[in-house]
């Protein structure tokens, strides 16, 4: 009768247990990222303005106060750019007919880095103006209709909000500083972007 190699069996059991734990950890990370992405996609759309920020600038005598800006963000179907796309139209807060910009934002999950966001400018902005009135128009957007702006942003949950920073390994920005704060933040009611502090409004 062959002698049982208990040491080999023990090693095999340990290896199986380690693989199982690794698989569980990977599944947990994948689930958490999916939950985070779901929150980002739910929180991001809406009607925002930075009126409170502009009023604060005026009261405190800021040398270069922020303009009063409103931004409307809606989810759109744009299969040629990805699965999770948004159209954003920026307007003067006191005159919605004065359009300042039209952009697109995309979000996706990278297996290594987590939630990745990217902003796009349109090659022909006027072609997509007031697209929120006809969202189906964005199904025809092609890759050549847009150009990425700046770096990819990595969005990570931090308490009751998400903070976004560019990945210094993939994108170096002159003058950037690790202590200058996040590139963007998002909560259920607020969005900060390019130095503008937007809050969701009822309109």
Q: pLDDT per residue over 49-99, tens digit each? A: 999 999 999 999 999 999 999 999 999 999 999 999 999 999 999 999 999
Cα(161)–Cα(155) distance, integer angstroms: 10
Instruction: Give every residue of the chain whose pLDDT is below 70, as ranges.
Output: 1-6, 8-25, 172-180, 202-203
And the tokens for 88? 């954003």
The Cα 77–Cα 139 span in angstroms is 6
Q: Is 146 exposed, middle or buried (0-12, 13-18, 19+ CB in 10 A)?
A: buried
Which of the following CATH numbers is that of domain 42-200: 2.40.128.590, 2.10.70.10, 3.40.50.720, 3.40.50.970? 2.40.128.590
Residues 6+ apart with CB under 8 A from 186: 40, 43, 44, 155, 161, 162, 164, 192
Chain-centroid distance of CA 16 in Å reads: 38
Quote the DSSP letter at residue 96.
Answer: E
Q: Which of 99, 97, 141 is nearest to 123 (CA)?
A: 141
At 88 the three-state DSSP class reads: strand
Tokens (6 digits) for 182: 């996040």
Confirm whether pTM is higher than 0.85: no
Question: Which pLDDT score is estimated for 5?
Answer: 61
> What tokens does 197 get?
């502090």
d(C-alpha 142, C-alpha 73), whole Å? 20
Quote the pLDDT of residue 203.
54
Residue 160: how many CB atoms within 10 A of its CB?
8
Domain boundaries, the chain: 42-200
pLDDT of residue 29: 78
Pairwise CA distance, residues 60 & 71, whole Å: 24
Q: What is the structure's pLDDT at 174? A: 46
């Amino acid at each position: 009768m062959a002698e049982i190699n208990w040491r080999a069996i023990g090693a095999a059991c340990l290896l199986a247990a380690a693989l199982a734990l690794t698989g569980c950890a990977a599944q947990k990370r994948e689930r958490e990222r999916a939950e985070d992405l779901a929150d980002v996609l739910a929180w991001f759309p809406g009607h925002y303005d930075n009126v409170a920020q502009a009023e604060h600038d005026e009261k405190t005598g800021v040398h270069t106060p922020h303009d009063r800006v409103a931004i409307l963000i809606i989810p759109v179907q744009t299969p040629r750019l990805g699965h999770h796309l948004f159209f954003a139209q920026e307007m003067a807060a006191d005159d919605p007919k004065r359009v300042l910009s039209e952009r697109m934002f995309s979000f996706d999950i990278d297996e290594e880095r987590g939630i990745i966001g990217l902003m796009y400018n349109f090659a022909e902005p006027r072609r997509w103006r007031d697209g929120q009135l006809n969202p189906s128009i964005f199904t025809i957007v092609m890759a050549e209709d847009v150009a990425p702006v700046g770096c990819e942003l990595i969005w990570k949950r931090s308490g009751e909000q998400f903070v976004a920073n560019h990945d210094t390994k993939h994108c170096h920005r002159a003058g950037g500083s690790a202590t200058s704060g996040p590139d963007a933040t998002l909560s259920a009611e607020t969005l900060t972007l390019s130095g503008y502090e937007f809050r969701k409004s009822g309109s």
